[in-house]
Amino acid sequence: MFDLVEAFHRPSSIREALRLLHAGGRRARIVAGGTDVVVRADPEIRSLVDITRLGLTYIKRSGGAWAIGATTTMAQIEHSAALRALAGGILVEAAKGCGSVQLRNMATLGGNLANASPAADTAAPLLVLDAQVVVAGERSRRTLALADFFLKPGETALGKALLVEILIPAPPRGARTAWSFQKLGRTESDISVVNAAAGLQVDGKGVCKWCRIALGAVAPVPLRARAAEALVTGRKLDGSLVEQAAAEAAREASPITDIRATAEYRREMCRVLVKRALAECAARAGCSL
Amino acid sequence: MRGTSGVLIMKTMQLRLTVNGETRQWTIAPGDLLLDVLRREGCYGVKRGCEKGECGACTVLLDGKPINSCLMFAAQAEGCDILTIEGLAVGDVLDPLQEAFLDHGAVQCGYCTPGMILNAKALLARNPHPSEAEVRETMAGNYCRCTGYLKPVEAVLAAAGRAPAPARSGRKAVKR
Amino acid sequence: MSGDRAVVGQNLRKVDGVKLVTGRPAFTDDIHLPGMLIGKILPSPHAHARIKRIDTGKARALPGVHAVLTYKDVPRVPHTTAGQAWPEPSPYDTYLLDNKVRFVGDRVAAVAAETRAIAEKALRLIEVEYEVLPAVLEIEQAMASGVAVIHDEPDSTKIFDREHNIAGYILREIGNVEEGFRASDLIFEREFRTGRQQHCPLEPHVAIAWLDADQRLVIRTSTQVPYHARRQVAMILQIPVSRVHVIKPRIGGGFGGKQEMLLEDITGALALATKRPVKIEFTREEEFYMARSRHPQILRMKMGVKRDGTIVASQLTVLATTGAYGSHSTTVQGNTGSKVLPLYRAEHMRFECHVVYTNTPVAGAFRGYGCPQGFFAQETLVDEIAEELGRDPVEFRRQNMIRLGDIDKLSAQLGEGKEGLPRHIRSCGLPECLDRAAAAVDWDGKRNAAGGPAHLKRGVGMAATMQGSGIAGVDWASAFLKMNEDGSFFLQVGAADVGAGADTVLAQIAAETLGVSLDKVVITSGDTDITPFDVGAYASSTTIISGGAVRKAAEKVRAHVLDMAAKMLDAPVDKLECGDNQVYTICECRKAVSMAELAMHAMYKEKTQIMDGASHFNTDSPPPFCVTFAEVEVDTETGKVRVLHLVTAVDPGTAINPMQAEGQVEGAVAQGLGYALIEELLLDGQGRPRNASFLDYKIFSAKDMPRLTTILVETDEPLGPFGAKSISEVPINGPAPAIANAIYHAVGIRLRKLPIRPEDVLRELREKLPTL
């Protein structure tokens, strides 16, 4: 499958990796977990640049914020006790759903995002967490919001740069803050037919002070359901509001039909999963709907 | 093999790693996948099932962790320690998992078995007494088309001391 | 009956188990031959086209390419790929290579090259100009006048009506159904549809062919039918059977998909052309659409009943597609009638079936062989009738089902592509299966209690099914045994262990008969140079037919052993017994000779090889019976159906190895579950596969499986070795109807299309309850 590959590079620094990528041009490809590069088997590839030896495998905490290296595997996220305590463990939940044990030992967080699949499981929880991505170019580094990172299926704002780190700012905390991750697949270990994540914070009267809703596999890119968020924010959470927000999120979706589901079903499931996510958040935040 | 220039070239590189406890140095092509190299070097217990990382038949342990060798470039295994099914038994003494798979009827065609056993081996190494749900979560990475998974799961639980060994003789008309 | 058996009925380890758990090289591809080339097949990109021009010049010129074959280079011999006994009842409508392609994936050309990459590149260099023909993709379209004729070639034979794309047609009736419907108080009629399931063996099809030192063609292949493959390859390549040697090593699952001569011919042709070893191995993608799948069917089932619950008449009308070639076309569909309708004792039965060609992937043999489709229709309709009559589904079935002493006359009319033989029910564990499975699922408790949280509704449903044990009057097998100096025996059988445990079961039968422990029987199977004939692994035949041959051969050898012992012990044969690896007297003298001593004496004193062989066939096919109970939970918001518990009770006759028998049940149930809920190979509007990978065509994993309960209800079948019938196919039939019936119990909707997808469930729910 890769008989035409002429070089396999194992750089030990980001600078060297970028140089090799640059030198290889269109025919060079980054490889980390391999779970996308190998499956796609692009016959154009002539050189591979392995980025797993750049020191980008880490989960660090500074204050309330988190930094996760791009080559951290799904398994490392899944088994991180600290991340399990972050935001109700929604990122851990999502990582656990990324294929089999073997795949999770290989697949990296950076790869899951840089691959820009609309169905990427970790994208929705990271959007809910207002995550940012750090990208390194040959001369500079920049940080951009994850929401601005995805451009269309398979395409990101990376350009020639390398995704090196995922930053999660300190999320809202407290007893009245709650989180939920919902996924619908055809089987237990499947690419999402639809996924949704939500986070919210309520005050003592049950009024929503802060809300995030994100969706996967219902639009060309993982999506914040901003209209639904706006609908919920500032209002008292109840069953009717949850229903309305779920319907609003479904309207924001622009799903397609593929072998996993029809567009109509996806839109409907978007409503159901957002409803379930918000209801679960409400219950966890101590609101009775 | 032909390069982009059309001239017959053969790009090769050296791969140093440990396989089943023995140090190896192999000449590989830069685009070789670990599955192909392991089979080429005689580890036939590493099976080709889908080449897309879905079925788990090619599972090996890389530094103790189960991975799909069909999705990994061989060059990525530089300096790593690989265990394939051939390296699990010690001489003629089978691993308890191998014994349990035989005793529980967990092997039918046997094509998925090496991957299953290695995946379970890694599970028991980090969690010696897993629950049935944990075993199923792990074994979800190994498709089997013969057994319906019940007996393999029982075998892993038995190897972990969580289920009794079945009677070697006598009828079991009713089960569970 | 089992108490005095030392080997049969025992949960013994698989005889080939150790090499499998240690990963030793045992499968087709686990060898490397010096100079071996890689073969690849160029698949047709069109569903229906004629090859106007094909130029292989550039491909042949590519360095590393050793052969490129097109229809111009090979003999044109009409044949079927179905691995069936001669004369095969399937149409001879297939060619090694042809100037016409009939589905996306059909063979256009074949290449042998030094590496896979070169072979793949060579395929891209073959220039083909196609005359694209209108394609027939829809099953209902196929017979219409004016549509394209898929098999317009004049030399194909045994096609029922080529002008209308009808590969086969079946019409059989006992009694007079119209009269039966007139005599009925209530008539029910429904239409059902079933999907295109793929076998998904973990080992895709693979064959390696080479010429041995005597220039004989050796084919090491992943097959269920080594002897049929040998005969067919010899015919297609036009070489004598004696010049072909087929070896079946360990097989990574078959399930019917390898009851097909699929790669052996083309791999053999490439080996002959290059004089080098050649391997062809399907990729997973190729396995999905270039190998075989289950026949999609449209079934119309009609039943007439009396108010007292007596089923008077049952009629099943089927439209099925065999895809582009008629492999197993009439035989699979014949089973849809002959093994399904007679489960209930209606006086009048009628089965009619058209099997049509379409320009779609080829259907073939698949575990259940036509029964999963038929039972889905019948058992769902029967559930509806019971509901309508206000009867408990279990009791309604009990009233009508076939029983001990019955004679199934439909089977007499409907054999394997010809008249069949009546089936006499000489063993029947159905009533006990019903009792024990109902108790295991708590049927009475759960039928009266539905519920759960607002959007999760639970229900229970069940189905009863049966199958056969070998094809009556067709399937036959042989076995040969010889004794070694150490008192062990070599057992040689043509039977093909494809992973289901045949080698173990057959060795157990020999060991039990000879009075030796299992380790004293060394079995060799499925090698056409070494082992005697067997039709192969299909039709649930191996235990009863091959096992019958082993039993006979072992009895003959036992007689020789006793004769020898009689001389050695100076005792009459009727006072001798075999057991515990020795022969002993059963009189007071208490003399004994070990098998090892006896063998040494025979070989070096008497100069006699103790050996014998036998052949075996049956004129009846005793049905194993099965009931399946399912408990499900339906998510009324997503339409997802979660199966909580599947209980399967099977009457396999005697279970030669109960642990292995359970494994057969559990594996069949898992495939039946996938068939019910998720598995279907989908095609686009041009006939191209849409989900030919495990990413897209999902099968269930360990995490998806419900709780399984397996109950073996053993009976004693007079026609089987030690009372055995069969087990590996019958449990696949029940999950789909049992689950469909459980869904009805949970939420009141009837699903009549397989697989039962969440979207369909949701749609039906909305139609029933628009407020949802």
- Do both A150 and A183 map to the same domain? no
| DSSP code per residue over C43-111 | E-SSSSEEEEEEE-HHHHHSTTEEEEE-GGGS----B--B--SSSPSS-B-B-SS-SEE-STT-EEEEE
- Chain C nearest CA to B37, separation (Å): 13
Indicate if the pLDDT at residue B162 is higher than 90: no
Ranges of each domain in chain C: 17-25+476-617, 37-133+202-253+258-290, 297-471+620-768
**Which CATH number covers residue A41?**
3.30.43
Residues 6+ apart with CB under 8 A from C735: C628, C630, C643, C646, C669, C672, C673, C675, C676
| Percentage of the residues of chain C whose pLDDT score is greater than 90 | 96
Residue where a domain terminates, one of A107, A141, A168 = A168
pLDDT given for residue A57 in this prediction: 98
Match 């009549």 to its residue by tokens: C752
How far apart are alpha carbons C1 and B161 in whole angstroms?
A: 34
pLDDT given for residue A217 in this prediction: 96
The CATH class of B96-159 is: mainly alpha
Instruction: Tell me the average pLDDT of chain A.
Output: 96
Cis peptide bond N-terminal to C87, omega within 30: yes
pLDDT given for residue C37 in this prediction: 98
Distances in Å between the alpha carbon of C214 and those of C210, C217, C242, C243, C245? 11, 9, 12, 9, 11
C697: left (phi over 0), alpha (psi -120 to 50) or beta: beta
pLDDT given for residue B2 in this prediction: 41
C61 touches chain B (CB under 8 A): no
Indicate if the pLDDT at residue C416 is higher than 70: no
The CATH class of C37-133+202-253+258-290 is: alpha beta
**E strands within C95-199?**
100-101, 107-113, 127-132, 166-174, 186-193
C-proximal residues of B, 17-76, CB under 8 Å = 43-52, 54-55, 57
Chains in contact with B, where contact requires at least 3 CB pairs less than 8 Å apart: A, C
The stretch A27-50 carries a mean pLDDT of: 94
Question: What is the tens place of the pLDDT at every residue in C371-395?
Answer: 999 999 999 999 999 999 999 999 9
Question: What is the tens place of the pLDDT at every residue in C662-685?
Answer: 999 999 999 999 999 999 999 999
The stretch C523-545 carries a mean pLDDT of: 97
Indicate if the pLDDT at residue B175 is higher than 70: no
Partners of C250 on chain B (C-beta within 8 Å) are 109-110
- Do both A106 and A143 map to the same domain? yes
pLDDT given for residue C418 in this prediction: 66
In chain B, whose CA is at the least distance from the CA of C17?
Answer: B102
Is A289 contained in some domain? no
In chain C, whose CA is at the least distance from the CA of B109?
Answer: C499
| Number of domains forming the structure of chain A | 3
A-proximal residues of B, 19-48, CB under 8 Å = 29-33
B73 touches chain A (CB under 8 A): yes
How far apart are alpha carbons B62 and B77 in whole angstroms?
A: 8
Question: What is the tens place of the pLDDT at every residue in C472-515?
Answer: 999 999 999 999 999 999 999 999 999 999 999 999 999 999 99
Establish how many alpha carbons lie within 13 A of residue A3's alpha carbon, considering only the half-sphere containing its beta carbon. 14
Instruction: Tell me the average pLDDT of chain C.
Output: 96
- Chain A nearest CA to C763, separation (Å): 10
pLDDT given for residue C399 in this prediction: 98
pLDDT given for residue C452 in this prediction: 66
B63 touches chain A (CB under 8 A): no
Tokens describing residue C432: 């006990």
pLDDT given for residue C454 in this prediction: 82
- Do both A118 and A87 map to the same domain? yes
Indicate if the pLDDT at residue C222 is higher than 80: yes
CATH superfamily to which B13-87 belongs: Beta-grasp domain (3.10.20.30)
How far apart are alpha carbons C195 and C753 in whole angstroms?
A: 8
- Do both A186 and A256 map to the same domain? yes
Q: Which CATH architecture has domain C17-25+476-617?
A: 2-Layer Sandwich (3.30)
Residue where a domain terminates, one of A168, A190, A217 = A168
Is A1 contained in some domain? no
pLDDT given for residue B7 in this prediction: 38
**Which CATH number covers residue A97?**
3.30.465.10
Nearest to C11 among B43, B55, B169 (CB): B169
pLDDT given for residue C568 in this prediction: 97
Partners of A39 on chain B (C-beta within 8 Å) are 52-53, 71
Question: What is the tens place of the pLDDT at every residue in C670-728?
Answer: 999 999 999 999 999 999 999 999 999 999 999 999 999 999 999 999 999 999 999 99
pLDDT given for residue C4 in this prediction: 81
The CA-CA-CA angle for residues C415, C499, C698, to 5°, reads 90
Ranges of each domain in chain B: 13-87, 96-159
A-proximal residues of C, 671-710, CB under 8 Å = 678, 682, 690-691, 695-696, 698, 700-701, 703-704
Residue where a domain terminates, one of A120, A139, A168 = A168
DSSP conformational letter for B2 = B
Question: What is the tens place of the pLDDT at every residue in A177-197?
Answer: 999 999 999 999 899 999 999
How remote is the C-alpha of A209 from its chain's centroid? 24
Indicate if the pLDDT at residue B172 is higher than 80: no
pLDDT given for residue B113 in this prediction: 98
The stretch B47-61 carries a mean pLDDT of: 97
pLDDT given for residue B170 in this prediction: 42
C160 three-state secondary structure: coil
Indicate if the pLDDT at residue B58 is higher than 90: yes
Indicate the fold that domain C297-471+620-768 takes in CATH: Aldehyde Oxidoreductase; domain 4 (3.30.365)
Contact state of C690 with A259 under an 8 Å Cβ cutoff = yes
User: Dihedrals φ, ψ of B76, to 5°?
Assistant: -70, -15
| Percentage of the residues of chain B whose pLDDT score is greater than 90 | 84
Q: Is there a common fold for C17-25+476-617 and C297-471+620-768?
A: yes
- Do both A181 and A278 map to the same domain? yes
Amino acid identity of residue C143, one-letter, is M
- Containing domain of residue A136, as a range? 59-168
The stretch C765-771 carries a mean pLDDT of: 83
User: Dihedrals φ, ψ of A242, to 5°?
Assistant: -60, -45
Contact state of A272 with C703 under an 8 Å Cβ cutoff = no
Res. C336 pLDDT band, cuts 50 70 90: very high
B105 touches chain C (CB under 8 A): yes
ipTM: 0.96
How far apart are alpha carbons A219 and A119 in whole angstroms?
A: 9
β-pairing, A7-9 vs A47-50, is: parallel
Tokens describing residue B90: 């010690």
